[in-house]
Structure 1
Amino acid sequence: MKLTGNTIFITGGGSGIGRGLAEALHKRGNKVIIAGRRRSHLKAVIDANPGMEAVELDVADPASIERVAAKLIAEYPELNVLINNAGIMQPDTVGGKIDDALLTSTITTNVLGPIRMTSALIEHLKTKKDAIVAYTTSVLAFVPMAITGIYSSSKAALHSYVLSQRFMLRNTGVRVLEIAPPWVRTELMNSQEAEQAMPLDEFIAETMAVLGTDADEILVDGAKQFRGNVGPNEHGLVNGFNEQALALFGGT
Protein backbone atom coordinates (compact mmCIF):
# COMPACT_ATOMS: atom_id res chain seq x y z
CA MET A 1 0.00 0.00 0.00
CA LYS A 2 1.18 3.50 -0.79
CA LEU A 3 1.57 5.19 2.61
CA THR A 4 1.25 8.83 1.60
CA GLY A 5 -0.92 11.00 -0.62
CA ASN A 6 -4.14 9.07 -0.04
CA THR A 7 -7.60 10.11 1.10
CA ILE A 8 -8.51 7.55 3.75
CA PHE A 9 -11.74 6.74 5.57
CA ILE A 10 -11.42 4.68 8.77
CA THR A 11 -14.39 3.30 10.69
CA GLY A 12 -13.98 2.86 14.41
CA GLY A 13 -11.36 5.60 14.37
CA GLY A 14 -12.21 7.09 17.75
CA SER A 15 -10.13 4.70 19.85
CA GLY A 16 -7.80 1.70 19.89
CA ILE A 17 -6.39 0.32 16.67
CA GLY A 18 -8.56 2.60 14.53
CA ARG A 19 -7.22 5.71 16.21
CA GLY A 20 -3.67 4.38 16.08
CA LEU A 21 -3.88 3.74 12.35
CA ALA A 22 -5.57 7.09 11.72
CA GLU A 23 -2.86 9.01 13.55
CA ALA A 24 -0.03 7.09 11.92
CA LEU A 25 -1.45 7.65 8.44
CA HIS A 26 -2.24 11.29 9.20
CA LYS A 27 1.40 11.88 10.14
CA ARG A 28 2.47 10.51 6.76
CA GLY A 29 0.63 13.19 4.83
CA ASN A 30 -2.65 11.47 4.07
CA LYS A 31 -6.06 13.10 4.30
CA VAL A 32 -7.76 11.03 7.02
CA ILE A 33 -11.46 10.97 7.88
CA ILE A 34 -12.44 8.91 10.91
CA ALA A 35 -15.87 7.62 11.87
CA GLY A 36 -17.57 6.23 14.95
CA ARG A 37 -20.66 6.41 17.11
CA ARG A 38 -19.18 8.37 20.02
CA ARG A 39 -18.91 12.05 19.19
CA SER A 40 -16.71 12.81 22.20
CA HIS A 41 -14.13 10.21 21.14
CA LEU A 42 -14.07 11.53 17.58
CA LYS A 43 -13.63 15.10 18.80
CA ALA A 44 -10.72 14.09 21.04
CA VAL A 45 -8.93 12.51 18.09
CA ILE A 46 -9.38 15.36 15.63
CA ASP A 47 -8.52 17.96 18.28
CA ALA A 48 -5.23 16.14 18.84
CA ASN A 49 -4.58 15.85 15.10
CA PRO A 50 -5.22 19.15 13.27
CA GLY A 51 -6.37 18.55 9.72
CA MET A 52 -7.97 15.21 10.44
CA GLU A 53 -11.76 15.13 10.04
CA ALA A 54 -14.57 13.04 11.50
CA VAL A 55 -18.10 11.92 10.77
CA GLU A 56 -20.56 10.14 13.01
CA LEU A 57 -21.41 6.64 11.80
CA ASP A 58 -23.23 3.61 13.17
CA VAL A 59 -22.07 0.63 11.11
CA ALA A 60 -24.96 -1.40 12.53
CA ASP A 61 -27.42 0.91 10.75
CA PRO A 62 -27.70 0.52 6.95
CA ALA A 63 -29.22 4.00 6.61
CA SER A 64 -26.27 5.53 8.46
CA ILE A 65 -23.86 3.74 6.15
CA GLU A 66 -25.63 4.96 3.01
CA ARG A 67 -25.79 8.52 4.34
CA VAL A 68 -22.09 8.62 5.21
CA ALA A 69 -21.04 6.98 1.93
CA ALA A 70 -22.93 9.62 -0.04
CA LYS A 71 -21.33 12.37 2.07
CA LEU A 72 -17.84 10.95 1.53
CA ILE A 73 -18.22 10.70 -2.24
CA ALA A 74 -19.60 14.25 -2.44
CA GLU A 75 -17.19 15.96 -0.04
CA TYR A 76 -14.05 13.85 -0.52
CA PRO A 77 -14.12 12.82 -4.19
CA GLU A 78 -10.46 11.74 -4.06
CA LEU A 79 -11.26 9.06 -1.45
CA ASN A 80 -9.26 5.99 -2.44
CA VAL A 81 -8.78 4.02 0.78
CA LEU A 82 -11.41 2.44 3.03
CA ILE A 83 -10.32 0.80 6.28
CA ASN A 84 -13.15 -1.19 7.88
CA ASN A 85 -12.00 -1.24 11.48
CA ALA A 86 -15.12 -0.82 13.64
CA GLY A 87 -16.01 -3.86 15.75
CA ILE A 88 -17.28 -5.06 19.10
CA MET A 89 -16.12 -7.94 21.29
CA GLN A 90 -17.92 -9.39 24.31
CA PRO A 91 -17.67 -12.68 26.21
CA ASP A 92 -20.44 -15.12 25.39
CA THR A 93 -21.74 -18.58 26.28
CA VAL A 94 -21.46 -20.79 23.22
CA GLY A 95 -21.69 -23.82 25.52
CA GLY A 96 -25.14 -22.76 26.68
CA LYS A 97 -28.02 -20.48 25.79
CA ILE A 98 -26.85 -17.54 23.70
CA ASP A 99 -27.97 -14.00 24.43
CA ASP A 100 -29.72 -13.12 21.19
CA ALA A 101 -29.07 -9.39 21.52
CA LEU A 102 -25.33 -10.05 21.87
CA LEU A 103 -25.40 -12.42 18.90
CA THR A 104 -27.26 -9.98 16.69
CA SER A 105 -25.22 -6.92 17.60
CA THR A 106 -21.89 -8.73 17.11
CA ILE A 107 -22.74 -10.16 13.70
CA THR A 108 -24.37 -6.94 12.55
CA THR A 109 -21.44 -4.77 13.59
CA ASN A 110 -18.54 -7.07 12.74
CA VAL A 111 -19.79 -8.74 9.56
CA LEU A 112 -22.72 -6.88 8.02
CA GLY A 113 -21.26 -3.46 8.82
CA PRO A 114 -18.01 -3.76 6.87
CA ILE A 115 -19.70 -5.63 4.01
CA ARG A 116 -22.31 -2.88 3.70
CA MET A 117 -19.74 -0.11 4.04
CA THR A 118 -17.59 -1.54 1.28
CA SER A 119 -20.62 -2.17 -0.91
CA ALA A 120 -21.64 1.47 -0.59
CA LEU A 121 -18.20 2.72 -1.70
CA ILE A 122 -16.82 0.03 -3.99
CA GLU A 123 -17.94 1.46 -7.33
CA HIS A 124 -16.42 4.81 -6.38
CA LEU A 125 -13.17 3.14 -5.31
CA LYS A 126 -12.94 1.30 -8.64
CA THR A 127 -12.45 4.68 -10.32
CA LYS A 128 -9.50 5.69 -8.14
CA LYS A 129 -5.79 5.10 -8.47
CA ASP A 130 -4.07 3.09 -5.72
CA ALA A 131 -7.45 2.08 -4.30
CA ILE A 132 -7.50 -0.04 -1.16
CA VAL A 133 -10.22 -1.78 0.84
CA ALA A 134 -8.87 -3.04 4.16
CA TYR A 135 -10.56 -5.02 6.91
CA THR A 136 -9.44 -5.41 10.50
CA THR A 137 -10.12 -9.03 11.43
CA SER A 138 -8.23 -10.89 14.19
CA VAL A 139 -5.98 -13.87 14.75
CA LEU A 140 -9.12 -15.32 16.38
CA ALA A 141 -10.41 -15.80 12.83
CA PHE A 142 -7.86 -18.62 12.61
CA VAL A 143 -7.67 -19.80 16.22
CA PRO A 144 -10.98 -19.04 17.97
CA MET A 145 -11.18 -18.12 21.63
CA ALA A 146 -14.07 -20.15 23.04
CA ILE A 147 -15.10 -17.62 25.69
CA THR A 148 -15.83 -15.18 22.89
CA GLY A 149 -16.92 -17.66 20.27
CA ILE A 150 -19.35 -15.35 18.48
CA TYR A 151 -16.72 -12.66 18.03
CA SER A 152 -14.22 -15.26 16.80
CA SER A 153 -16.78 -16.60 14.35
CA SER A 154 -17.56 -13.11 13.09
CA LYS A 155 -13.90 -12.53 12.28
CA ALA A 156 -13.64 -15.94 10.58
CA ALA A 157 -16.63 -14.98 8.44
CA LEU A 158 -15.02 -11.66 7.55
CA HIS A 159 -11.75 -13.42 6.62
CA SER A 160 -13.71 -15.69 4.27
CA TYR A 161 -15.41 -12.67 2.72
CA VAL A 162 -12.05 -10.98 2.21
CA LEU A 163 -10.76 -14.00 0.28
CA SER A 164 -13.81 -13.94 -1.99
CA GLN A 165 -13.72 -10.19 -2.54
CA ARG A 166 -9.99 -10.18 -3.24
CA PHE A 167 -10.53 -12.85 -5.89
CA MET A 168 -13.47 -11.09 -7.51
CA LEU A 169 -11.60 -7.75 -7.65
CA ARG A 170 -8.36 -9.30 -8.93
CA ASN A 171 -8.75 -7.68 -12.38
CA THR A 172 -9.62 -4.21 -11.08
CA GLY A 173 -7.46 -1.50 -9.57
CA VAL A 174 -8.76 -2.19 -6.06
CA ARG A 175 -6.57 -4.17 -3.66
CA VAL A 176 -8.19 -5.93 -0.72
CA LEU A 177 -6.12 -6.12 2.46
CA GLU A 178 -6.68 -7.92 5.75
CA ILE A 179 -5.19 -6.65 9.00
CA ALA A 180 -5.26 -9.51 11.53
CA PRO A 181 -4.08 -8.27 14.93
CA PRO A 182 -3.03 -10.46 17.84
CA TRP A 183 -4.12 -9.46 21.35
CA VAL A 184 -3.48 -5.72 21.57
CA ARG A 185 -3.92 -3.32 24.48
CA THR A 186 -7.23 -1.66 23.56
CA GLU A 187 -10.69 -1.20 25.04
CA LEU A 188 -11.82 -4.58 23.70
CA MET A 189 -12.32 -6.96 26.63
CA ASN A 190 -10.79 -4.22 28.87
CA SER A 191 -7.33 -5.09 27.61
CA GLN A 192 -5.68 -1.68 28.08
CA GLU A 193 -3.50 -2.89 30.96
CA ALA A 194 -3.10 -6.56 30.02
CA GLU A 195 0.60 -7.43 30.29
CA GLN A 196 0.27 -10.34 27.84
CA ALA A 197 -1.26 -8.09 25.17
CA MET A 198 0.89 -6.26 22.63
CA PRO A 199 1.30 -2.53 23.35
CA LEU A 200 -0.76 -0.52 20.91
CA ASP A 201 2.10 1.69 19.77
CA GLU A 202 4.26 -1.34 18.98
CA PHE A 203 1.41 -2.94 17.04
CA ILE A 204 0.82 0.20 14.99
CA ALA A 205 4.54 0.59 14.20
CA GLU A 206 4.87 -3.02 13.02
CA THR A 207 1.61 -2.83 11.10
CA MET A 208 2.62 0.33 9.26
CA ALA A 209 5.87 -1.33 8.22
CA VAL A 210 3.97 -4.23 6.66
CA LEU A 211 1.32 -1.94 5.13
CA GLY A 212 4.09 -0.27 3.19
CA THR A 213 4.88 -3.54 1.36
CA ASP A 214 2.89 -5.39 -1.29
CA ALA A 215 1.46 -7.86 1.27
CA ASP A 216 -2.26 -8.62 1.12
CA GLU A 217 -2.32 -9.86 4.72
CA ILE A 218 -0.97 -7.45 7.29
CA LEU A 219 0.51 -9.59 10.07
CA VAL A 220 2.83 -8.53 12.86
CA ASP A 221 5.25 -11.16 14.10
CA GLY A 222 3.03 -12.07 17.05
CA ALA A 223 0.16 -12.95 14.72
CA LYS A 224 1.98 -15.31 12.38
CA GLN A 225 1.77 -18.43 14.55
CA PHE A 226 -2.02 -18.12 14.60
CA ARG A 227 -2.29 -17.48 10.87
CA GLY A 228 -0.29 -20.64 10.19
CA ASN A 229 -3.04 -22.70 11.78
CA VAL A 230 -5.02 -22.98 8.54
CA GLY A 231 -2.20 -24.68 6.66
CA PRO A 232 0.03 -23.68 3.77
CA ASN A 233 -0.97 -22.13 0.45
CA GLU A 234 -4.48 -21.05 1.43
CA HIS A 235 -4.57 -18.36 -1.23
CA GLY A 236 -3.40 -20.72 -3.95
CA LEU A 237 -6.08 -23.23 -2.97
CA VAL A 238 -8.80 -20.57 -2.80
CA ASN A 239 -7.86 -19.03 -6.14
CA GLY A 240 -7.56 -22.37 -7.91
CA PHE A 241 -10.91 -23.52 -6.58
CA ASN A 242 -12.57 -20.30 -7.72
CA GLU A 243 -11.02 -20.41 -11.18
CA GLN A 244 -12.58 -23.87 -11.59
CA ALA A 245 -15.91 -22.58 -10.27
CA LEU A 246 -15.91 -19.75 -12.80
CA ALA A 247 -15.28 -22.22 -15.60
CA LEU A 248 -18.23 -24.30 -14.47
CA PHE A 249 -20.75 -21.63 -13.53
CA GLY A 250 -19.60 -18.51 -15.36
CA GLY A 251 -19.02 -15.02 -13.99
CA THR A 252 -16.07 -12.69 -13.78
Structure 2
Amino acid sequence: MKLTGNTIFITGGTSGIGRGLAEALHKLGNQVIISGRRTALLDEVTAANPGMASIQLDVTSLDSIRNAANELIERFPNLNVVFNNAGFMPFDDVSEPVDDDLAQDLITTNLLGPIRVTSALIEHFKTQPQATVLYTSSVLAYVPIASNAIYSATKAALHSYALSQRFQLRNTGVQVQEIAPPWVDTDLIYKSGDPRAMPLPDFIEQTLVALATDAPEVIVDSIKVMRDNPGANEHTLFEAFNQSLVDNPIPTGA
Protein backbone atom coordinates (compact mmCIF):
# COMPACT_ATOMS: atom_id res chain seq x y z
CA MET A 1 0.00 0.00 0.00
CA LYS A 2 1.25 3.46 -0.78
CA LEU A 3 1.30 5.60 2.34
CA THR A 4 0.50 9.00 0.83
CA GLY A 5 -2.15 10.50 -1.40
CA ASN A 6 -4.97 8.25 -0.22
CA THR A 7 -8.48 8.83 1.03
CA ILE A 8 -8.76 6.41 3.95
CA PHE A 9 -11.81 5.31 5.93
CA ILE A 10 -11.06 3.79 9.35
CA THR A 11 -13.64 2.05 11.50
CA GLY A 12 -13.00 2.09 15.23
CA GLY A 13 -10.81 5.15 14.78
CA THR A 14 -11.38 6.86 18.11
CA SER A 15 -8.98 4.87 20.28
CA GLY A 16 -6.10 2.42 20.37
CA ILE A 17 -4.65 1.06 17.15
CA GLY A 18 -7.37 2.70 15.03
CA ARG A 19 -6.65 6.16 16.35
CA GLY A 20 -2.90 5.59 16.29
CA LEU A 21 -2.87 4.65 12.62
CA ALA A 22 -5.43 7.32 11.75
CA GLU A 23 -3.22 10.04 13.21
CA ALA A 24 -0.05 8.62 11.66
CA LEU A 25 -1.62 8.38 8.20
CA HIS A 26 -3.14 11.85 8.61
CA LYS A 27 0.32 13.28 9.31
CA LEU A 28 1.57 11.68 6.10
CA GLY A 29 -0.87 13.81 4.12
CA ASN A 30 -3.71 11.39 3.52
CA GLN A 31 -7.36 12.40 3.81
CA VAL A 32 -8.48 10.31 6.78
CA ILE A 33 -12.09 9.71 7.79
CA ILE A 34 -12.68 7.95 11.09
CA SER A 35 -15.86 6.33 12.31
CA GLY A 36 -17.37 5.22 15.58
CA ARG A 37 -20.66 5.17 17.42
CA ARG A 38 -20.04 8.09 19.78
CA THR A 39 -20.08 11.56 18.26
CA ALA A 40 -18.26 13.11 21.21
CA LEU A 41 -15.24 10.87 20.69
CA LEU A 42 -15.24 11.49 16.95
CA ASP A 43 -15.29 15.24 17.59
CA GLU A 44 -12.45 14.92 20.11
CA VAL A 45 -10.16 13.10 17.67
CA THR A 46 -10.91 15.33 14.67
CA ALA A 47 -10.45 18.47 16.78
CA ALA A 48 -6.99 17.23 17.73
CA ASN A 49 -6.19 16.54 14.06
CA PRO A 50 -7.37 19.45 11.88
CA GLY A 51 -8.40 18.26 8.45
CA MET A 52 -9.38 14.79 9.60
CA ALA A 53 -13.05 13.99 9.01
CA SER A 54 -15.49 11.67 10.72
CA ILE A 55 -18.72 9.81 10.17
CA GLN A 56 -20.93 8.09 12.70
CA LEU A 57 -21.20 4.35 12.17
CA ASP A 58 -22.45 1.32 14.09
CA VAL A 59 -20.77 -1.70 12.49
CA THR A 60 -23.35 -4.02 14.05
CA SER A 61 -26.10 -2.42 11.94
CA LEU A 62 -26.36 -3.25 8.24
CA ASP A 63 -28.48 -0.14 7.65
CA SER A 64 -25.88 2.04 9.36
CA ILE A 65 -23.14 0.51 7.21
CA ARG A 66 -25.05 1.05 3.98
CA ASN A 67 -25.90 4.64 4.88
CA ALA A 68 -22.32 5.38 5.85
CA ALA A 69 -21.00 3.87 2.62
CA ASN A 70 -23.34 6.00 0.52
CA GLU A 71 -22.34 9.13 2.43
CA LEU A 72 -18.64 8.31 2.13
CA ILE A 73 -18.78 7.80 -1.62
CA GLU A 74 -20.78 11.02 -2.05
CA ARG A 75 -18.54 13.17 0.17
CA PHE A 76 -15.23 11.53 -0.72
CA PRO A 77 -15.39 10.21 -4.30
CA ASN A 78 -11.64 9.45 -4.25
CA LEU A 79 -12.05 7.03 -1.34
CA ASN A 80 -9.61 4.20 -2.02
CA VAL A 81 -8.69 2.62 1.35
CA VAL A 82 -10.86 1.05 4.02
CA PHE A 83 -9.30 -0.03 7.29
CA ASN A 84 -11.62 -2.45 9.09
CA ASN A 85 -10.49 -2.00 12.65
CA ALA A 86 -13.59 -1.82 14.87
CA GLY A 87 -13.83 -4.64 17.39
CA PHE A 88 -13.87 -5.60 21.03
CA MET A 89 -12.31 -8.34 23.14
CA PRO A 90 -14.24 -9.75 26.10
CA PHE A 91 -13.05 -12.62 28.25
CA ASP A 92 -15.10 -15.82 28.20
CA ASP A 93 -15.06 -19.34 29.59
CA VAL A 94 -16.22 -21.86 27.02
CA SER A 95 -15.94 -24.69 29.53
CA GLU A 96 -19.29 -23.34 30.74
CA PRO A 97 -22.49 -22.39 28.89
CA VAL A 98 -21.76 -19.54 26.49
CA ASP A 99 -23.47 -16.17 26.85
CA ASP A 100 -25.31 -16.25 23.54
CA ASP A 101 -25.99 -12.50 23.39
CA LEU A 102 -22.31 -11.74 23.91
CA ALA A 103 -21.28 -14.33 21.33
CA GLN A 104 -23.64 -12.92 18.72
CA ASP A 105 -22.52 -9.35 19.41
CA LEU A 106 -18.87 -10.35 19.15
CA ILE A 107 -19.31 -12.20 15.87
CA THR A 108 -21.46 -9.41 14.41
CA THR A 109 -18.91 -6.76 15.36
CA ASN A 110 -15.61 -8.50 14.71
CA LEU A 111 -16.46 -10.64 11.70
CA LEU A 112 -19.69 -9.57 10.02
CA GLY A 113 -18.83 -5.89 10.52
CA PRO A 114 -15.67 -5.97 8.37
CA ILE A 115 -17.32 -8.23 5.80
CA ARG A 116 -20.31 -5.90 5.47
CA VAL A 117 -18.29 -2.66 5.42
CA THR A 118 -16.03 -3.96 2.67
CA SER A 119 -18.99 -5.36 0.74
CA ALA A 120 -20.68 -1.96 0.79
CA LEU A 121 -17.57 -0.29 -0.69
CA ILE A 122 -16.05 -2.94 -2.94
CA GLU A 123 -17.68 -1.93 -6.23
CA HIS A 124 -16.60 1.68 -5.67
CA PHE A 125 -13.05 0.50 -4.94
CA LYS A 126 -12.93 -1.33 -8.25
CA THR A 127 -13.39 2.02 -10.02
CA GLN A 128 -10.28 3.51 -8.38
CA PRO A 129 -6.82 3.34 -9.99
CA GLN A 130 -5.50 1.71 -6.82
CA ALA A 131 -7.41 0.62 -3.73
CA THR A 132 -6.64 -1.26 -0.55
CA VAL A 133 -8.82 -3.21 1.87
CA LEU A 134 -7.24 -3.57 5.32
CA TYR A 135 -8.37 -5.91 8.07
CA THR A 136 -7.20 -5.92 11.68
CA SER A 137 -7.00 -9.55 12.69
CA SER A 138 -4.67 -10.60 15.52
CA VAL A 139 -1.82 -12.89 16.45
CA LEU A 140 -4.68 -14.80 18.08
CA ALA A 141 -5.82 -15.80 14.60
CA TYR A 142 -2.81 -18.13 14.64
CA VAL A 143 -2.52 -19.03 18.34
CA PRO A 144 -5.74 -18.42 20.30
CA ILE A 145 -6.05 -17.37 23.91
CA ALA A 146 -8.33 -19.90 25.56
CA SER A 147 -9.80 -17.25 27.88
CA ASN A 148 -10.84 -15.21 24.82
CA ALA A 149 -12.03 -18.15 22.77
CA ILE A 150 -14.78 -16.49 20.73
CA TYR A 151 -12.69 -13.37 20.05
CA SER A 152 -9.80 -15.56 18.87
CA ALA A 153 -12.18 -17.51 16.65
CA THR A 154 -13.51 -14.33 15.00
CA LYS A 155 -9.95 -13.29 14.19
CA ALA A 156 -9.11 -16.70 12.74
CA ALA A 157 -12.24 -16.46 10.60
CA LEU A 158 -11.32 -12.95 9.45
CA HIS A 159 -7.85 -14.17 8.48
CA SER A 160 -9.44 -16.94 6.41
CA TYR A 161 -11.85 -14.48 4.79
CA ALA A 162 -9.02 -12.11 3.85
CA LEU A 163 -7.16 -14.96 2.15
CA SER A 164 -10.18 -15.78 -0.01
CA GLN A 165 -11.00 -12.19 -0.85
CA ARG A 166 -7.39 -11.47 -1.80
CA PHE A 167 -7.48 -14.35 -4.26
CA GLN A 168 -10.84 -13.34 -5.70
CA LEU A 169 -9.57 -9.77 -6.29
CA ARG A 170 -6.24 -10.84 -7.76
CA ASN A 171 -7.04 -9.53 -11.24
CA THR A 172 -8.32 -6.14 -10.07
CA GLY A 173 -6.67 -3.00 -8.74
CA VAL A 174 -7.87 -3.79 -5.21
CA GLN A 175 -5.25 -5.05 -2.76
CA VAL A 176 -6.13 -6.88 0.45
CA GLN A 177 -3.79 -6.60 3.44
CA GLU A 178 -4.20 -8.03 6.92
CA ILE A 179 -2.72 -6.32 9.98
CA ALA A 180 -2.14 -8.91 12.72
CA PRO A 181 -1.18 -7.12 15.95
CA PRO A 182 0.42 -8.70 18.98
CA TRP A 183 -0.72 -7.67 22.44
CA VAL A 184 -0.53 -3.89 22.17
CA ASP A 185 -0.85 -1.70 25.27
CA THR A 186 -4.25 -0.16 24.55
CA ASP A 187 -7.68 -0.17 26.14
CA LEU A 188 -8.81 -3.16 24.06
CA ILE A 189 -8.32 -5.19 27.23
CA TYR A 190 -6.79 -2.86 29.81
CA LYS A 191 -3.98 -0.35 29.32
CA SER A 192 -1.61 -1.38 32.09
CA GLY A 193 1.96 -0.84 30.98
CA ASP A 194 2.50 -4.59 31.22
CA PRO A 195 6.00 -5.28 29.79
CA ARG A 196 4.61 -8.12 27.69
CA ALA A 197 2.44 -5.62 25.77
CA MET A 198 3.96 -3.73 22.85
CA PRO A 199 3.85 0.07 23.30
CA LEU A 200 1.42 1.60 20.82
CA PRO A 201 3.96 4.05 19.27
CA ASP A 202 6.35 1.17 18.55
CA PHE A 203 3.56 -0.86 16.98
CA ILE A 204 2.45 2.04 14.77
CA GLU A 205 6.02 2.71 13.64
CA GLN A 206 6.73 -0.91 12.70
CA THR A 207 3.33 -1.39 11.11
CA LEU A 208 3.73 1.60 8.80
CA VAL A 209 7.04 0.19 7.55
CA ALA A 210 5.43 -3.15 6.74
CA LEU A 211 2.26 -1.55 5.39
CA ALA A 212 4.29 0.33 2.79
CA THR A 213 5.15 -2.98 1.13
CA ASP A 214 2.92 -5.29 -0.85
CA ALA A 215 3.02 -7.88 1.93
CA PRO A 216 -0.36 -9.59 2.27
CA GLU A 217 0.13 -9.80 6.03
CA VAL A 218 1.49 -6.90 8.06
CA ILE A 219 3.15 -8.32 11.15
CA VAL A 220 5.76 -7.04 13.57
CA ASP A 221 8.88 -9.01 14.41
CA SER A 222 7.65 -10.07 17.84
CA ILE A 223 4.91 -12.33 16.47
CA LYS A 224 6.80 -14.02 13.64
CA VAL A 225 7.38 -17.18 15.67
CA MET A 226 3.67 -17.43 16.46
CA ARG A 227 2.75 -16.66 12.86
CA ASP A 228 4.93 -19.58 11.81
CA ASN A 229 3.01 -21.82 14.21
CA PRO A 230 3.81 -25.28 12.77
CA GLY A 231 0.86 -27.54 12.15
CA ALA A 232 2.30 -30.69 13.70
CA ASN A 233 3.41 -28.79 16.80
CA GLU A 234 0.38 -26.52 17.08
CA HIS A 235 -1.03 -28.13 20.21
CA THR A 236 2.29 -27.97 22.06
CA LEU A 237 2.74 -24.28 21.24
CA PHE A 238 -0.88 -23.52 22.14
CA GLU A 239 -0.66 -25.34 25.47
CA ALA A 240 2.60 -23.62 26.43
CA PHE A 241 1.35 -20.18 25.42
CA ASN A 242 -1.90 -20.50 27.34
CA GLN A 243 -0.25 -22.04 30.40
CA SER A 244 2.05 -19.00 30.55
CA LEU A 245 -1.06 -16.80 30.72
CA VAL A 246 -2.58 -18.97 33.44
CA ASP A 247 0.62 -18.60 35.43
CA ASN A 248 0.88 -14.84 34.78
CA PRO A 249 -2.62 -13.57 33.87
CA ILE A 250 -3.32 -10.58 31.65
CA PRO A 251 -4.43 -7.62 33.81
CA THR A 252 -8.04 -6.66 33.24
CA GLY A 253 -8.46 -3.64 35.50
CA ALA A 254 -11.24 -5.45 37.35
Q: Normalising by the residue count of structure 2, what TM-score does the alignment of the two structures yield?
A: 0.89
Match of 2:143 in 1: 143
TM-superposed CA distance for 1:102, in Å, is 1.0
CA distance in 1, matches of 2:178, 2:192: 23
How large is the RMSD of aligned CA atoms in angstroms?
0.9
CA distance in 2, matches of 1:108, 1:192: 28
TM-superposed CA distance for 1:120, in Å, is 0.2
Instruction: Give the residue type in structure 2 aligned to 1:183.
Output: W
Match of 2:202 in 1: 202
Instruction: Give the residue type in structure 1 aligned to 2:174.
Output: V
TM-superposed CA distance for 1:163, in Å, is 0.4
Partners of 1:91 and 1:148 within 8 A in 2: yes
Instruction: Give the residue type in structure 1 aligned to 2:122.
Output: I
TM-superposed CA distance for 1:224, in Å, is 1.1
Match of 1:166 in 2: 166
Alignment of 1:195-234 (within 5 A): 195-229=195-229
TM-superposed CA distance for 1:230, in Å, is 5.0
SS of the residue aligned with 2:55? strand
CA distance in 2, matches of 1:214, 1:154: 25
Match of 1:90 in 2: 90
Aligned length: 231
Instruction: Give the residue type in structure 2 aligned to 1:127.
Output: T
TM-superposed CA distance for 1:60, in Å, is 0.5
Q: Deviations over 1:133-164 (max 9, x none)?
A: 00000000000000000000000000000000
CA distance in 2, matches of 1:11, 1:158: 15
The percentage of aligned residue pairs carrying the same residue is 61
Instruction: Give the residue type in structure 2 aligned to 1:200.
Output: L
Q: Normalising by the residue count of structure 1, what TM-score does the alignment of the two structures yield?
A: 0.90
CA distance in 2, matches of 1:207, 1:225: 17
Alignment of 1:67-216 (within 5 A): 67-216=67-216
TM-superposed CA distance for 1:223, in Å, is 1.8
Alignment of 1:8-19 (within 5 A): 8-19=8-19
CA distance in 2, matches of 1:192, 1:84: 25
Unaligned segments of structure 1, at least 5 residues: 232-252
Instruction: Give the residue type in structure 2 aligned to 1:5.
Output: G
Partners of 1:191 and 1:197 within 8 A in 2: no
Instruction: Give the residue type in structure 2 aligned to 1:44.
Output: E
Partners of 1:9 and 1:79 within 8 A in 2: yes
TM-superposed CA distance for 1:192, in Å, is 4.3
TM-superposed CA distance for 1:34, in Å, is 0.2
Is 1:3 equivalent to 2:3 in the alignment? yes
CA distance in 1, matches of 2:26, 2:107: 30
Misfit runs of 4+, over 6 Å: none
CA distance in 2, matches of 1:78, 1:194: 41
SS of the residue aligned with 1:12? coil
CA distance in 1, matches of 2:128, 2:225: 35
Partners of 1:83 and 1:135 within 8 A in 2: yes
Match of 2:54 in 1: 54
CA distance in 2, matches of 1:147, 1:78: 42
TM-superposed CA distance for 1:193, in Å, is 2.7
SS of the residue aligned with 2:156? helix
Q: Deviations over 1:100-149 (max 9, x none)?
A: 11101100000000000000000000110220000000000000000000
CA distance in 2, matches of 1:230, 1:168: 26
CA distance in 1, matches of 2:129, 2:20: 25
SS of the residue aligned with 1:178? strand
Is 1:26 equivalent to 2:26 in the alignment? yes
CA distance in 2, matches of 1:223, 1:73: 36
Match of 1:36 in 2: 36
Instruction: Give the residue type in structure 2 aligned to 1:137.
Output: S
TM-superposed CA distance for 1:195, in Å, is 2.4
